[in-house]
Amino acid sequence: MLEKSLIFKYLYRSHTIIGLLVLFLFYMSTYFGTLTFFMPYLKVWESPSRHFAPQHNHAFNIDALLDEVLEKHHFLGDKPVEITLPSFRDPLLKISSEAQNSLYINPVTNEVLKVAKEENLISTFFNELHTGIVIPLVGMPLMGMMSVGILFLTFGGFWLYLQKRSHRTSSKASWRATWLSWHKITGLAIIPYALVFALTGAFLGLMLSSSQPFAWSMTHGTVSNMRTLVAPILFAQPKYKGGETTKQMLPFSTLQALAQEHYPQLSITNATLYHYGKEGAKVRFRGYDKENVAQSGRVNRPSITLDASSGAVVEHKTLDKTHGISRTLSTFYFLHFVPDETLGLRVVLALFGAILAISLASGYLLWAEKKLHQQGFLADLTNRVSIAILIGIIPSSALVPFLHWVLAYELFDKEIWIRGTFYAFWSFWLFYTVFERSIVMIISRMLKSAAWLLLLCVLFHGLKSGFFFWQSFHQKAWILFYMDLALILSSMVLFYMAKWVEKKELFYRYERKGVFDGY
């Protein structure tokens, strides 16, 4: 058994080392993950086809339209047709099928839209940066490993806090003490948040990508894809036989009302049409259970199936009838994705995410403080590179929505341009941190450029889509209005921070020593 003080020492050291290893990638994941909480709203904001004021509760009526649309766009056939009802996630109604490109209908005007794939460019890109999938092959497992590291840091940090040893904090007023208290306070505040999100994140990053050997060994070397093994059991798709003769269907709204009547707790989000227009056609309504949102997430939707011509109930699958593992999985996913929750919870979680980012950054500063008084160039160089990564991420990510609105929609490789510019801009900041001598200058220029880019992207959004924020206010398109407002506000905050950095004594300290002496 190790002596207690020795355990403390080991844990303290490993907390530092693992923290430094995990910090940069997890910071990236935290930063983009926090932005991803607002993904549904970002999606609306980034696509002009969703720029309208939706009706109350996203009401719609496609009764007159449905038959014609399905016929005209080659949807009728053996493959089931999936209808995603308008919601806060996407105010458009979507019709899709396995073998067809999706169709979008504006629920207010009942107009069939042609929507380019590029329109979800920002949110997809941010999400991919969050999961680490942008790094080929190793990206997702790597992020999973980072999450495991964060779990260790959370537990270890809490244990270290409990020991309450006042170690080597000689003067209370030193910066080290300041960073330590910041790191402690923020770290304690986000323990439950970090545990839930790092645990689920580790599961998503590591388990899903490394399930192949398990599948392979369980099937004695025949199948290596876990999904093909579990999907038929967990996500069993019902198979219905359709007749040949055509038959008159009940209107869609009637069917929906009937489904709602038979299953009042169901909040319908999707409908699937089987053999629509033929004899024996079925419609399956899926959604989440209002009394148990967590267990009825997108992987485990309870459903009710109706006969499309008579309206009789064919199958009534309540939440109790779903597979236990699906329910667990759904709860698990719910904790990470909060799929059906709206703004309130998302804002709270995003605040926690910001605190986590501060905690990570103050952890770095704590280490940097120690290195500041050492000889050599290494400390200065790591400080500069860290600034390029931790703060340089802000202007680089602000560039993405800006370019999204500036570049033409018709550009066929728009996505590559934007992603490429993001990386190029980020590496530009990496170069700039060693090129420019003054650290304060570097930070304030980064913040200022981010602030300008955000302001400009609000401007170009207005110019390109015709929805300036006063117009969206006037037309009561609240999501657009609040998105613009949030961008302007964050731009103001960044301007203020840039000014604040220039005044602050603290940041000049990092310029005194190191590589740039006598420059």
Partner 1 sequence: MVIKFWFIFLLSTQLFAHKIEGLNLIITPIESDTISIEGKMKGSGKKLEGNKIALISMIDKRILEEAFLEGGKPLQLKIPQESYWVYLYVGDQDVVEEGPAPKEGFKKIVTSQKERAFRTMGTLCLGFITLFLTISGYRIYGYKRRKKAVSLRF
Question: What is the C-alpha separation between 102 and 201, in angstroms, rounded?
Answer: 30
Continuous H helices in 139-279: 139-163, 175-189, 191-202, 212-218, 226-234, 252-262
| Number of amino acids touching partner 1 (CB under 8 A) | 48
Q: Distance of CA 443 to CAs 175, 363, 366, 390, Å?
A: 19, 18, 18, 10
Distant-in-sequence, close-in-space partners of 507: CB < 8 Å, separation ≥ 6: 439, 440, 443, 501
Which strands sit side by side in the sheet containing 282-289, from one edge to the other? Answer: 93-97, 81-84, 266-274, 282-289, 303-307, 313-317
Question: What is the C-alpha separation between 70 and 76, in angstroms, rounded?
Answer: 6
Does 185 bind partner 1 (CB under 8 A)? Our answer is: no
Query: CA 402: distance to chain centroid?
Result: 19
Continuous H helices in 164-209: 175-189, 191-202
Does 230 bind partner 1 (CB under 8 A)? Our answer is: no
Which of 91, 363, 395, 514 is the binder for partner 1 (CB under 8 A)?
Answer: 514
Does 229 bind partner 1 (CB under 8 A)? Our answer is: no
Q: For residue 338, which of 282, 293, 387 has the smallest C-alpha distance?
A: 293
Does 72 bind partner 1 (CB under 8 A)? Our answer is: no
State the CB neighbour count (10 A cutoff) for residue 153: 25
Question: What is the C-alpha separation between 213 and 228, in angstroms, rounded?
Answer: 14
Does 216 bind partner 1 (CB under 8 A)? Our answer is: no
Does 459 bind partner 1 (CB under 8 A)? Our answer is: no
Does 13 bind partner 1 (CB under 8 A)? Our answer is: no
Distant-in-sequence, close-in-space partners of 41: CB < 8 Å, separation ≥ 6: 343, 479, 482, 483
The residue behind tokens 């719910």 is 334
Which of 5, 14, 55, 101 is the binder for partner 1 (CB under 8 A)?
Answer: 101
Tokens of 178: 């300041």
Please name every residue paired with 257 in a beta bridge, in sequence order, or none if there are none: none
* Nearer to partner 1 (CB atom), residue 121 or residue 266: 121
Does 24 bind partner 1 (CB under 8 A)? Our answer is: yes
3-state secondary structure of 267: strand
The distance of closest approach from Cβ of residue 28 to partner 1 in the complex, given in angstroms and rounded to an integer, is 9
Does 517 bind partner 1 (CB under 8 A)? Our answer is: yes
Which of 148, 343, 385, 456 is the binder for partner 1 (CB under 8 A)?
Answer: 385
The distance of closest approach from Cβ of residue 212 to partner 1 in the complex, given in angstroms and rounded to an integer, is 13
Q: What residue type is 356 in one-letter code?
A: L
Tokens of 318: 């309540």
The distance of closest approach from Cβ of residue 29 to partner 1 in the complex, given in angstroms and rounded to an integer, is 13
Does 515 bind partner 1 (CB under 8 A)? Our answer is: yes
Does 70 bind partner 1 (CB under 8 A)? Our answer is: no
Does 77 bind partner 1 (CB under 8 A)? Our answer is: yes
* Nearer to partner 1 (CB atom), residue 220 or residue 519: 519
* Nearer to partner 1 (CB atom), residue 240 or residue 428: 428
The distance of closest approach from Cβ of residue 452 to partner 1 in the complex, given in angstroms and rounded to an integer, is 20
The distance of closest approach from Cβ of residue 82 to partner 1 in the complex, given in angstroms and rounded to an integer, is 10
Does 136 bind partner 1 (CB under 8 A)? Our answer is: yes
The distance of closest approach from Cβ of residue 32 to partner 1 in the complex, given in angstroms and rounded to an integer, is 13
The distance of closest approach from Cβ of residue 90 to partner 1 in the complex, given in angstroms and rounded to an integer, is 11
Does 102 bind partner 1 (CB under 8 A)? Our answer is: yes
Does 382 bind partner 1 (CB under 8 A)? Our answer is: yes
Does 427 bind partner 1 (CB under 8 A)? Our answer is: yes
Q: For residue 89, which of 279, 275, 298, 301 has the smallest C-alpha distance?
A: 298
Stretch that binds partner 1, among 152-160, 274-282, 407-415, 461-469 (CB under 8 A): 407-415
* Region for residue 255 given its phi and psi (left: phi exceeds 0; alpha: psi -120 to 50; beta: otherwise): alpha
Whether 37 and 353 have beta carbons less than 8 Å apart is answered as: yes
Helical packing angle, 4-36 and 378-390, nearest 10°: 40
Count of residues making up the chain: 519
Which of 8, 216, 428, 473 is the binder for partner 1 (CB under 8 A)?
Answer: 428
Does 44 bind partner 1 (CB under 8 A)? Our answer is: no
Does 423 bind partner 1 (CB under 8 A)? Our answer is: yes
* Nearer to partner 1 (CB atom), residue 24 or residue 161: 24
Residues that bind partner 1 (CB under 8 A): 24-25, 74, 77, 79, 96-97, 99-102, 117, 120, 134-136, 225, 377-378, 381-382, 385, 389, 410, 412-413, 415-417, 419-421, 423-424, 426-428, 430-431, 433-435, 514-519
